[in-house]
Amino acid sequence: MATKLKNLSKHNSKEIPSAKNMRFGIVVSEWNSEITNAMADAAEKTLLEFGASKKNIFIHYVPGSFELTLGAKYLAEYTKADAIICIGCVIQGETKHFDFICQGVAYGITELSIQYGKPFIFGVLTTNNLQQAKDRSGGKHGNKGIEAAVTAIKMLGLRNKLT
């Protein structure tokens, strides 16, 4: 979570394992595409920076954040991804729609992790306004896409260490 004390883009490179032999799915919401595309680009760049091969990164798009869960399930079933990064952005509106979408996506991604026994990463911004989303997709608080990619690599590193 980005705060005054934490930037989403900052990490200790020495604590991150090589992603050389890892395969990643990235499922991206088309809704709020200015935000989600910036996050997806940052996630892909980060994976490549830590050694992932371009051919081992599978990027696919879904209409909105609510569809991330099923899109992620498809990537788990139809690609050889070791981890799936879910990238979306839900901005608070005037109705309860925000609450239902955020809760559904968070629950769905958690369930997929448990069901498949592999990391499904919650790279979804849930902000009060567009400016907060911009601040967390390459602005003053860093980029959630970078954080999501680092999380995926670290979780696969943990799996590899334990197996």
Tell me which amino acid residue 71 is.
G
- Out of 11, 60, 97, 141, the active site residue is 97
- CA-to-CA distance for 54 and 115, rounded, in angstroms? 27
- CA-to-CA distance for 110 and 14, rounded, in angstroms? 28
Torsion (CA) 14, 19, 21, 27 in degrees, nearest 10: 160
- Is residue 152 helix, strand or coil? helix
Torsion (CA) 46, 35, 136, 12 in degrees, nearest 10: 0
Query: Closest Cα to residue 157, out of 60, 80, 50?
Result: 50
Extract the tokens encoding 78. Answer: 């139809």
Assess whether 97 carries a catalytic annotation: yes
- Known catalytic residues are 97
